[in-house]
Chains A and B, each alone.
Chain A
């Protein structure tokens, strides 16, 4: 009797560990569902949208300009931010507002990315805290699953917009400066 109880308990623990590990691998290497909050990515992603973020392109270093990514906040590793990648390493980024007469530029350092929210008026992003290390990126948002009203499911693929902020591809400049 006792032996049977013990065997059952051990079997249960084993299955729990096994499925826990499979769940960890799925969340870590395939993707996860994330509830977004906050106004910084409006109108692409509004408050309480559920999005699916896939992890593989981050592990394979396939994040590109224009992708929406979920990253750890550089100032609080327990908090996540959802922003759009505006520049990769070596790109020249315009940091001044469109209305400014004198434009200021900065280069994204090696191994970093420049993140900005789509809602430029209401977003704290790389414009306030500078470039973010690439390794803080957790995943690329590829699907919007539920919209705000929770009334129906939409599987909207979030494509890259064609209206990139006008940026100068300074990679040649960057590599020549390094050499």
Chain B
């Protein structure tokens, strides 16, 4: 009765070939796993970032004191909710990120002051009072004078809306939900005043 294991039966050169073949199949399996994982992970991530939520760093002083209160040294990180703006529905007072109408590669983060149909008293725009046309809104930074906003380029088309900032997630001591709040002296004029 002779029982030989495979290894004992092989010549040294055969054994090397066998090991190599094993490595090739293992490598192929890894490659297949990588490709299938790649085809799952990348579209899911891209869709998540495009449709649901997006994390962005806030740069610049235009939203002080609410965002970036310490100046340039520390940048806040906000969570942009993209699902809630899928139908372009925003409220007055929301903080939104918008593709800059001046530079399509840049996104700006501002506060919504007026929606379509509102009358707005402007701060340094060419007209003193403006009626927001259909499909547009009026956005301003909280830090007047240090912000490139609707006061320089006029009402912005709602189609440029990118996301609504819903949480400050960094720094951790200022972790909070962002609620819609209009600055006291800003906002649409009442209809009676017109």
Enumerate chain A interface residues (CB-CB to B < 8 A).
17-18, 20-22, 24-25, 28-29, 61, 72-78, 109-112, 133-136
Contact = CB atoms under 8 A, between A and B. Distances in A.
- Nearest first, the 3 A-B pairs at minimum CB distance are A77-B159, A21-B43, A75-B135
Given A111-B103, A135-B101, A135-B104, A17 B160 contact: no
B99 A133 contact: yes
B158 A77 contact: yes
A45 to B, nearest CB: 22
A50 B193 CA distance: 50
- Which size class do B's interface residues fall under? 20 to 34
Given A17-B44, A133-B160, A135-B99, A61 B105 contact: yes
Given A111-B100, A135-B99, A25 B157 contact: no
B133 A75 contact: yes
A22 B101 CA distance: 30
Interface in B85-117: 87-88, 99-105
Given A110-B102, A111-B102, A21 B135 contact: no
Given A133-B99, A133-B157, A61 B104 contact: yes
29 contacts: A18-B40, A21-B43, A21-B44, A22-B43, A24-B43, A24-B47, A24-B50, A24-B51, A25-B42, A25-B46, A29-B46, A72-B157, A74-B136, A76-B134, A76-B135, A77-B88, A77-B135, A77-B158, A110-B102, A111-B100, A111-B101, A133-B104, A133-B157, A134-B104, A135-B99, A135-B100, A135-B159, A135-B160, A136-B157
